[in-house]
Chains A and B, each alone.
Chain A
Amino acid sequence: MSTQGRPKGEYRSAQHGGNSMHRPYVRPMAGWWKRDPFFMRYMARELTAFAVGAFAVILCVGVLRLAQGEAAWNGWLAALRSPASIALHVVLLVAMAVHAKSWFEIMPKTMPMIHVGGKRLGAQTITRAGWAATLIASLLLIALVWGWR
């Protein structure tokens, strides 16, 4: 029997030094997500949750400073201008885009089936409609930020 390519210690019996003939092989799960590009993409997607959470904290500090007055608010704006903050927000931007992309890719699997004209609405149609909605929402937000007086 070949054990080639298996990392050391995959047989639990060897670790415990017991009767190896009667102990079942237990596949270790540590670092399981590094085994396959599919799992790595899954983990990368899961990491975007931290970006959403971090941005919630940043905005929460923002409204707290806003409530404390003009000087406090300007301090928050100044903090956003620091190179560290810009770098962080570039990472957050990429993560948010990945979240938006995958959110609508998963949506056809999570939402109830929709039938149009007796045919089930295709997964790709739902995904593309979601991305289009993101584009419209983004343009609307940017128009409001710069256009609203």
Chain B
Amino acid sequence: MKRSHAPIFWLLFGGGGMLAALFGTALVLVTGIVVPLSGSDVLAYPRMLALAQSVVGKGFVLAVIVLFAWHAAHRILCSLHDIGIHKGLVAKLTCYGCAMAISLVAAASLWRVGF
């Protein structure tokens, strides 16, 4: 029997959904609203570089970006059926391809900033 690869996508979807539910709201509030409006320096370059160079910080940032991307890709793919678009190979490659591209760019960038 051929093994299904569905559990992999389901795990990425579940992990991303949980991480987004726990941290998504606060992250959007901090990076997209409070810091830009208040002019706070908490996201200043030296601080964020130190965050991205630390193992824990690197891991958290990578997990957020990668899992959010795969979560969104999986859900958008499933929603296509609801609006009458067939969940075929093109739709799968588009959704999961975008998530893969985002993951690779994030991983490469975090690798580039060093340790």
Contacts and interface: CB of A to CB of B under 8 A. Distances in A.
Nearest to B22: A137
B69 A53 contact: yes
A63 interface: yes
Contact of B102 (A60, A77, A80, A81): A60
A100 B66 CA distance: 18
Interface string B68-83: 1101110110010010
A67 to B, nearest CB: 4
Contacts of B49: 66
B91 interface: no
A86 B32 contact: yes
**Residue from B20, B52, B82 having most chain A Cβ neighbours under 10 A:** B20
In the complex, which range does the number of interface residues on chain B fall in?
35 or more
Given A49-B75, A56-B65, A141-B23, A96 B31 contact: no
A108 interface: no
A149 to B, nearest CB: 9
Contacts, number: 154
A38 to B, nearest CB: 14
B72 A53 contact: yes
A9 to B, nearest CB: 16
B33 A134 contact: no
Contacts of B26: 137-138, 141-142
If over half of A's interface residues share one DSSP class (helix, strand or loop), that class is named, otherwise mixed; here it is: helix
Interface stretch (A19-27, A87-95, A118-126): A87-95
Interface in A5-32: 29-30
A119 to B, nearest CB: 25
A80 B25 contact: no
Contact of B68 (A56, A74, A89): A56
A70 B45 contact: yes
B61 A67 contact: no
Contact of A63 (B23, B43, B106): B106
Contacts of A43: 82
| 6 closest A-B pairs by CB | A89-B32, A53-B72, A49-B75, A138-B26, A56-B68, A103-B21
Given A56-B66, A99-B17, 14 more contacts: A49-B71, A52-B20, A52-B71, A53-B76, A55-B27, A59-B106, A60-B109, A63-B65, A63-B110, A64-B106, A74-B45, A89-B28, A137-B22, A138-B25
